[in-house]
A and B are shown apart, each in its own frame.
Chain A
Amino acid sequence: MDAGRLCRLWGLGLGVFFAAPLGYLVYENIRLRSDVLGILGVWRTWGPLRNSVMLAAAVSVAAMIVGTTMAWATVRLDLPGRRFWAALAPLPLVFPTFVGATAFIALLARGGLAERLLSPLGFGSLPRLQGFWAAWLVLTLFTYPYVYLPTRARLRHLDPAYEEAARVLGRRPAAVFATVTLPAIRPAVSAGGLLVCLYTLSDFGAVELLRYETLTRSIYANRLFNRPVSLTHGLLLGVVALGVVVLERSLARRRSGSFAATSARPPRLTDLGLWRWPACAAVVAVLLLALVAPLAALGYWAGRGIANPGRRIGAFVLDGAGVATATVSTVAVSAVAAAVTVLVMLPLAWLLVRRPSLGASASNLLVTAGFALPGIVVALALVFWALQMPFADVIYQTLPLLVAGYVLLFGAQAANAAQAAVGAVPARLSENARTLGARRWRRLRTVEMPLMTPGLLAAGGLVFLSVMKELPLTLLMRPTNLPMLSADIWDSMESFFLAQAGLESLVLVAASGVLTWLLVLRRSEFA
């Protein structure tokens, strides 16, 4: 059997593997005769669904506005310190949203930083952070970079000739922005908005911590004692997420014509005069909220925990050794998951680049759909499947099943990056090696692997980063004795151990910050 056929079989298997979770949910819904229509008919279902959709819509719109405004302000306005703010603006990306929520809860907690700063000014008790607006605020602050990054790139490279032509044709700057600039950046804004929407739909940590009843929260709450509701909600969430992707794709397809975005001419700065100061203050305010405040709150609690080693009560509990162990095992598990994911995806990537076929594209579609599937849906399917297997105790909450979950969730990311890696090896080079007498394995070892390595490392790095930040899958599927930073932060927050949560969060943010820098920002203009 030659390598090509092996790859094809592998690709087919992958397609089935990635379709499995959703397929399994459908099957379970039927098998358990969970009365889908009955459950859909009661308010208990529509409430969470409505909340999920409302939150996703509100956060997407807000993130698109904040991200676009930040991008536009840092590219087009003559703000003092423009480049500095521009480099800081994508950094909220490094906070997983449950860490963001943790930070805001810690900030406003009794005895927290906000109380300390505000009580001398006469503020008595601070509001409790919960509900729709809390979730909306936290999710918007930590997801706007998904819009900011592509929109900024687009604005920087958009050919100024379009806007100049519009000016010369008699339109004022505001009209030019509405009729030319916005249509030109729309693809970037809406692609970013799609990511934010998916992220919000699948978010579990922030809405659970901030007590806003969405589908993810209902899935989690009902998973033990009300399986049919949990299953139906899982299916519903999966369908909504896929629906959002399909909708965005079809909207994108209807657009025709593309703006040349390869300009070497630098964009023209708008001279704001004295208005530059309030504009700059607005940008700084966003960064204060999304970056400085959460870091300060986490650092404050971690610091108090370290400064009071003896106190074993509530917020001050700090287990330094536990943090260290969790860090080590998080890194180890993430590395294993990254390596496995990349290896599993490589044949499909090779197939897609070198031997494109209908079957490969179909598999790729299923893999990509996996990206849209929320982590908690995948986790739910895997958990239920494992629990009702005859050998359940052998696989349930084991490392292999956990890694399989990560592969399902982040396979699409790895597949994309791996395709770029395979693309970095021109077919011509393999052919040349062949005419020079190198057989399959020698070609792979001496020509293809060395050229693919940087791309594959990048693919692995992306998976590594995502695994570190993933909460619901880790929470539901990790082996009970395996400490993971994300799940430990969660546990600490359940017990309101703010110092512990703060320190763990800082470690997680620092690690994800380094990786984000290496993988995302270093390649952009900020390096």
Chain B
Amino acid sequence: MPNARRATAGAPAPGDPAPRGRIGLARGGRVANGRSARAHGGAGDRNGFRDLRLLDVHKSFGPSKVLHDVDLSIESGRTLSLLGPSGCGKTTLMRIVAGLEVADSGEIHVGDRLLAGNGVHVAPEARRIGLLGQERSLFPHLSVGGNVAYGLGRATDRVARVHEVLEMVDLAGFEKRMPDSLSGGQQQRVAIARALAPRPRMLLLDEPFQALDVHLRVELQIEIRALLGALGATAVIVTHDQDEAFIMGDEVAVMQDGRIRQRGTPTEVYSHPETPWVASFVGDANFVNGVGSGSTVATPLGRLSTCCSVSGEVAVLLRPAHIRLLEPSAEGADGSATGQVQAMRFFGHATECRVRFGDEVLLARSDRMPSVRVGDDVVLRYDGPPVVAYPASVMAGLRRNGKQWRGAPASPAR
């Protein structure tokens, strides 16, 4: 058995996310070998990680309903990003899974074990779920080693296990240090090691990079992603940042007002958002009116092909990167869709233009150097994949409550 494990770990099994980054490459062989695999190696899982299933979870705080009907499942070994604006209930959901809050109704299963529901509420200390919170919650009165060993109880291999998990996060030899002598990134890695040490059945990471500066955040995102992949960990990462959600998750679940609005791979969610709200939450979005007829839609930018069959009045999603701006004199500019450049922002790697187009203002982004100037007339052309369209009635509602638009100054819907 140990030999078999080692072989598996040495050459990642097909379907495993390939280890990325230095942790994955350097530690891939250690992570799954020996003790850890023997200790809890059940059927079909590596390192004891299990799947998570949430059925119909409801939660209210007083009169305000925080979670409606949440159904969510994650296969063993997969990472899910739970993405939503602050206050959407995602942290509450994680606290319910960890056992720190009690759901009003619904069931929570990890592996074949019922953790909550049907009158059962397993105490947080008995759930074996690793939690990495928003705040830095390392115990300041314990050394790094003391922190990591905290969840190990009276296990006989404490020292070895502490060493092992610290090595996973590249902090071997830091056992004696005190948390306040470490940098923010190191502290967060210790917190991860501490969560991993007791061999949890799954990991919950609640905005784990929020307190770090941008540079460190990106570095740690890559490392943690690689580590989770190498461990074959089942993990949920809660975030309000769509970049982070896309980077960290095998899949993304988008949450709004206590409901899961869409669930899919990052590319699916970005290119086929199920609602206009999701479309504008996961990236900048322009909407133009159109009339659908089967697999095409007539828009002010011309007749565009759609990804799925539509009919009647619709709102069509156009990502800024798919709108090209041409000089009226340029070749291929037919002049039917002419707008005027209202404002420009040059980022170096990209240029953003706000273009007045009829009653609307559209945002266009290009990775080329700006060829137009403010005040210029330009011709707009759609240059992207088949478009996604929504019934106009859905759109009207979104405009009315008018919130949750990203990049407010450039927002085309105002």
Which residues on A are within 8 Å of B, measured CB to CB? 159, 161-162, 164-172, 179-180, 183-184, 255-260
B194 partner, pick from A169, A172, A184, beta carbons under 8 A: A169
B140 partner, pick from A164, A170, A258, beta carbons under 8 A: A258
The answer to whether A172 and B137 have CB atoms under 8 Å apart is no
A164 partner, pick from B131, B150, B194, B198, beta carbons under 8 A: B131
The answer to whether A164 and B153 have CB atoms under 8 Å apart is no
Nearest Cβ in chain B — how far from A171, in angstroms?
Answer: 6
The answer to whether A159 and B150 have CB atoms under 8 Å apart is no
Count: A-B pairs, CB below 8 Å: 76
- Given contacts A161-B133, A161-B135, A256-B180, is CB(A170)–CB(B141) below 8 Å? no
**B322 interfacial contact with A, CB 8 Å:** no
B125 partner, pick from A161, A171, A258, beta carbons under 8 A: A171
**B344 interfacial contact with A, CB 8 Å:** no
**B249 interfacial contact with A, CB 8 Å:** no
Which 6 pairs, one residue from A and one from B, show the smallest C-beta to C-beta distance? A257-B140, A169-B151, A161-B137, A167-B124, A165-B137, A168-B131
**B126 interfacial contact with A, CB 8 Å:** yes
- Given contacts A168-B98, A170-B153, A171-B125, is CB(A180)–CB(B135) below 8 Å? no
- Given contacts A255-B141, A257-B178, A257-B179, is CB(A167)–CB(B133) below 8 Å? no
Q: Please encode chain B, from 137 to 179, with 1 for each CB lying within 8 Å of some chain A CB and 0 for all others.
A: 1011110000000110100000000000000000000000011
Given contacts A165-B131, A168-B124, A170-B198, 11 further A-B contacts (CB under 8 A): A161-B135, A161-B137, A164-B98, A164-B137, A167-B100, A167-B124, A169-B125, A171-B150, A183-B139, A257-B179, A259-B140
Interface hub of A166, A170, A172, A180 (most chain B Cβ within 10 A): A170
A171 to B198 Cα, complex, angstroms: 12
The answer to whether B150 and A169 have CB atoms under 8 Å apart is yes
- Given contacts A167-B124, A170-B151, is CB(A162)–CB(B139) below 8 Å? yes
A159 to B136 Cα, complex, angstroms: 10
Contacts of B153 in A (CB 8 A): 170
A170 to B133 Cα, complex, angstroms: 16
**Chain B residue at minimum C-beta to C-beta distance from A255:** B141
**Chain B residue at minimum C-beta to C-beta distance from A163:** B137
Nearest Cβ in chain A — how far from B56, in angstroms?
Answer: 24
**B128 interfacial contact with A, CB 8 Å:** yes
The answer to whether A164 and B100 have CB atoms under 8 Å apart is yes
Residue pairs across A and B with Cβ atoms less than 8 A apart, 26 shown, are A159-B135, A161-B133, A162-B137, A165-B131, A165-B194, A167-B99, A167-B125, A168-B98, A168-B125, A169-B151, A169-B195, A170-B198, A171-B125, A171-B150, A179-B139, A179-B150, A180-B139, A183-B141, A255-B141, A256-B140, A256-B178, A256-B180, A257-B141, A257-B178, A259-B140, A260-B136
**Chain B residue at minimum C-beta to C-beta distance from A265:** B135
Contacts of A183 in B (CB 8 A): 139, 141
Interface hub of B129, B131, B194, B195 (most chain A Cβ within 10 A): B131
**B19 interfacial contact with A, CB 8 Å:** no
The answer to whether A165 and B133 have CB atoms under 8 Å apart is yes
Taking chain B's interface residues, is the majority helix, strand, or loop, or is none over half, making it mixed? loop
Contacts of B150 in A (CB 8 A): 166, 169, 171, 179
Contacts of B131 in A (CB 8 A): 164-165, 168
Nearest Cβ in chain B — how far from A203, in angstroms?
Answer: 33
The answer to whether B100 and A168 have CB atoms under 8 Å apart is yes
A257 to B147 Cα, complex, angstroms: 13
**B130 interfacial contact with A, CB 8 Å:** yes
Contacts of A159 in B (CB 8 A): 135, 137
A184 to B137 Cα, complex, angstroms: 12
Contacts of B98 in A (CB 8 A): 164, 168
**B127 interfacial contact with A, CB 8 Å:** yes
Contacts of A169 in B (CB 8 A): 125, 150-151, 194-195, 198
The answer to whether A164 and B124 have CB atoms under 8 Å apart is yes
A166 to B136 Cα, complex, angstroms: 13
**Chain A residue at minimum C-beta to C-beta distance from B131:** A168
Interface hub of A164, A169, A172, A183 (most chain B Cβ within 10 A): A169
Contacts of B134 in A (CB 8 A): 161
Contacts of B179 in A (CB 8 A): 257
**Chain A residue at minimum C-beta to C-beta distance from B179:** A257
Contacts of A258 in B (CB 8 A): 140, 180
**Chain A residue at minimum C-beta to C-beta distance from B150:** A169
- Given contacts A164-B100, A167-B100, A257-B179, is CB(A172)–CB(B125) below 8 Å? yes
Contacts of A167 in B (CB 8 A): 99-100, 123-125
**Chain B residue at minimum C-beta to C-beta distance from A164:** B100
**Chain A residue at minimum C-beta to C-beta distance from B148:** A169
**Chain B residue at minimum C-beta to C-beta distance from A183:** B141
Nearest Cβ in chain A — how far from B47, in angstroms?
Answer: 17
Nearest Cβ in chain B — how far from A276, in angstroms?
Answer: 18
The answer to whether B141 and A168 have CB atoms under 8 Å apart is no
The answer to whether B125 and A170 have CB atoms under 8 Å apart is yes
A167 to B178 Cα, complex, angstroms: 21
Nearest Cβ in chain A — how far from B352, in angstroms?
Answer: 37
Contacts of B100 in A (CB 8 A): 164, 167-168
**Chain B residue at minimum C-beta to C-beta distance from A186:** B141
Contacts of A168 in B (CB 8 A): 98-100, 124-125, 127, 129-131
A426 to B369 Cα, complex, angstroms: 51
Nearest Cβ in chain B — how far from A372, in angstroms?
Answer: 27
Nearest Cβ in chain A — how far from B46, in angstroms?
Answer: 21
A170 to B200 Cα, complex, angstroms: 10
A257 to B190 Cα, complex, angstroms: 15
Contacts of A170 in B (CB 8 A): 125-126, 128, 151, 153, 198
Chain B residues 176-191 with CB under 8 Å of chain A are: 178-180
Nearest Cβ in chain B — how far from A165, in angstroms?
Answer: 4
Contacts of B129 in A (CB 8 A): 168
Nearest Cβ in chain B — how far from A453, in angstroms?
Answer: 38
